Structure 1
């Protein structure tokens, strides 16, 4: 099985460095780069396309796979839910920086800790595990997933490092790996999952 993982195209919030919400849509750059990916994936013809339910991912999926068969929408691959009090704020805002620092610090010592209504790493890790279980049971040969930066990094962490590892290890991994808008990550499964390419413009 070959798994192509795409991060959605650039959004207005990405460009303005704002914490986006579920309805954040693609800007012109995001649309243009999604169109470029459409040409690349025209030759691949995936057996299955799975998208996050968030607007930016759906828009990206529909541009790239406009003529493909049905796009499956799955909550399992959506982005990590952030605290509602920081959504819509500039990433450099003190409230945002302080909230992220608090979440990181407290989750290292207490993985189940929540600042407010957000998902923590353990919540996302469980979603990742369910998605990997789904993939492992799937009979399709070529699958594409259109998702988000945090989820993609958590999925790669599962493939490379494993499930149930300490959050501190994930923080180190997260900061060491780049996942840019409209970039492709390629994984392959024989007996085990293997990461072939990360954050690439080609397949």
Structure 2
């Protein structure tokens, strides 16, 4: 039975991550600390022999992938690996959202999975595109070691899908920090969590 090693890496810190501003689909770069985080992760995992690197096309993810795996690493970008699109909440601080959208904010806090943020992506469509894309990557790479550089929401969705009853019930059970690696090994179709939030 061939195994597949899947390395899920969240991008390094951005200024928006640092200050509590939502930037799901907004394209932002790493800050200096985020670049140092990515380089530190590179030093920690330089023993990994990765056969393929996939990345969200957003700058913060591609920059992280390049810093971790080197300038010459062939990086395959895939828009299915992008973060959730927050619609009208993009670029807003949490306190600003609570002030401008008090009713939707309170509903989101209690039933976030079904609450539709104005202009946002449907949560179920988001998790479906992320999970479907990564499952196809795993199927297409038998016996190989594959890295996916993406975003916090994407990695939480994947881990919840693989290891919880449902994505909705497991989504917030995983704290995925910037520039961390979570490793999943597939024995056939059986996912095994090898490392989580490693830095």
Structure 2 CA distance for aligned equivalents of residues 193 and 107 of structure 1: 27
1:141 counterpart residue number: 144
Structure 2 CA distance for aligned equivalents of residues 116 and 31 of structure 1: 33
**Which residues of structure 2 form unaligned runs of 5+?**
none
2:155 counterpart residue number: 152
2:197 counterpart residue number: 199
2:120 counterpart residue number: 118
CA, structure 1 residues 179+100, in 2 after alignment: closer, same or farther (shift >3 Å)? farther
CA, structure 1 residues 183+99, in 2 after alignment: closer, same or farther (shift >3 Å)? farther
Matches within 5 A, 1:48-197: 48-83=52-87, 85-93=88-96, 94=98, 95=100, 99-103=104-108, 111=114, 114-127=116-129, 128-139=131-142, 141-161=144-164, 165=166, 167=168, 169=169, 173-191=170-188, 192-197=190-195
SS for the counterpart of 2:95 is coil
Q: Give the Å deviation of 1:107.
A: 6.2
CA contact (8 A) 1:51 1:58 kept: yes
What's the Cα RMSD here? 2.2
Instruction: Tell me whether 67-76 or 45-54 shows the greater mean CA deviation.
Output: 67-76
Q: TM-score, normalised by structure 1?
A: 0.83
2:45 counterpart residue number: 41
Q: Give the Å deviation of 1:97.
A: 6.7
Q: Give the Å deviation of 1:106.
A: 5.8
Structure 2 CA distance for aligned equivalents of residues 96 and 184 of structure 1: 34
Structure 2 CA distance for aligned equivalents of residues 100 and 150 of structure 1: 18
Matches within 5 A, 1:15-34: 15-20=18-23, 22-34=26-38
Q: TM-score, normalised by structure 2?
A: 0.85
Q: Give the Å deviation of 1:8.
A: 0.3
Structure 2 CA distance for aligned equivalents of residues 150 and 66 of structure 1: 25
